[in-house]
Chains A and B, each alone.
Chain A
């Protein structure tokens, strides 16, 4: 089982480490990362393995949202299936 994690917001020091720390805290393994910085807008998409999570996926989603809100970033964690079903036949 994999989830897609997206981070969008104003670029600043430490976003990557903050998000990956939170992933580690939930025992989510980061599989792939792509990121771009357009002017000063940071946009990162991570594919994480959630089969070994130490909490419920909904709990991780909630924690990431809280983290994002506290740092002024928009962070979403969504099950990979939703993207696959929408964009792949």
Chain B
């Protein structure tokens, strides 16, 4: 029989330490829906989604019940909509409304894929889609958008970077009365993964199968609790070992639920995303793990080193636990969604520059950071360019999801509630990068891209 302490450990992880499956995301290819008539195309999109995902939420809920593990989100990722706009032309907002209607019909929490991949230039449909992002996000609740502006292979599309600064600002402006919520649903990527199950950046890449199930696990609370109950004099390699073992257990859970969900839905199982995704709930914070390793507060000198160790140990533990690893796979550091990060930002221990350094050693990038409402579009573009450069040179994914808090200034806060949490407005350097951003063109791919 099972060991009693193992059984109790699993139950404790779920009951007390917030272990959960963060998301089951169904990826659906919409390439078969392309039509030269936009209304026909939208109808095909709607029909295909509700056909493929009709049992997604129900299956997720049954798995929750039977296995006793909470599954927080059921989501859908679709083919970048710019590819359909290329065929149909017309107003891309129509697609956003079709996605929203489908999301409401099947009951998912989010639907991602209002996206364009423009790292090497704009193709037909791309610019129209990007320009439509603010309105699409403002008039829908569940739709998420993402734009890939750079890659290690292609370099960085500075024209797209310039445009995205304006789009991010515009998103905030038109949802100013709703906590600038539209910009919290928009991610600007470098090296965007095609199988990422996490929002807001999830989309179903063109190289993916017709339909697939990807899973994102969570579990910062479990890692923190394991460190908290370990002897205080462990040396750092023993700390890494402990995190690895814990990550293994968390990932096995994701692998089990993902493969079971895929089996029941009759679609192939894609990947497990080995990410530590925090929530604003007490005890579910990545910052608190870093503090448990030995920092007074997240943001202190040493934060980057601790995060690098954490990120690496999570991957090493997770890789053996899963048959296929993908997505972002690393620790997330969204400021507004992490109780420890919120505290650190409020106290001034954590600044944007430190966060930028942290993104060089963990997955994602500058995530859920509120900046003063009067920040010019060029500065936002330059933040995106900096982050994309880190991703490009280090052959890793980086992303920017920042929220210009229009009408508010440093020291005030945006309050979202739920998983999105609270975003203290962080100061940004105000010296102008406008001349650099307005040059346009393409930042050439680095030498790292020449691996063949």
Given A61-B65, A76-B11, A86-B249, A81 and B1 contact (CB-CB distance below 8 Å): no
B residues less than 8 Å from A76 (CB atoms):
11, 68
Given A6-B11, A76-B11, A82 and B6 contact (CB-CB distance below 8 Å): no
Nearest Cβ in chain B — how far from A66, in angstroms?
Answer: 13
CA of A6 to CA of B265, assembled, Å: 29
Given A4-B2, A85-B255, A87-B6, A77 and B67 contact (CB-CB distance below 8 Å): no
- Interface mask (B115-151 → A, CB under 8 Å = 1, otherwise 0): 0000000000000000000000000000000000000
CA of A10 to CA of B428, assembled, Å: 55
A residues less than 8 Å from B7 (CB atoms):
4, 6, 45, 83
* B449 interfacial by beta-carbon distance below 8 Å: no
A residues less than 8 Å from B68 (CB atoms):
61, 76-79, 82
Which bucket holds chain B's interface residue count?
A: 20 to 34
Nearest Cβ in chain A — how far from B1, in angstroms?
Answer: 5
A86 near B1 with CB under 8 A, answer no
* B430 interfacial by beta-carbon distance below 8 Å: no
A87 near B67 with CB under 8 A, answer no
- Which A28-72 residues sit within 8 Å CB-CB of chain B? 32, 34, 36, 43, 45, 47, 57-58, 61-62
A82 near B65 with CB under 8 A, answer no
A81 near B249 with CB under 8 A, answer no
B residues less than 8 Å from A43 (CB atoms):
4, 8
17 contacts between A and B (CB under 8 A): A4-B7, A6-B7, A6-B11, A43-B4, A43-B8, A47-B2, A80-B2, A81-B260, A82-B68, A82-B69, A82-B253, A82-B256, A85-B252, A85-B255, A86-B6, A86-B252, A87-B9
Starting from the known contacts A78-B67, A78-B68, A81-B67, 6 additional A-B residue pairs (CB-CB under 8 Å) come to A79-B66, A82-B69, A83-B7, A83-B10, A85-B256, A87-B10
Hey, which bits of chain A sit against chain B, CB under 8 A?
A: 4, 6, 32, 34, 36, 43, 45, 47, 57-58, 61-62, 76-87
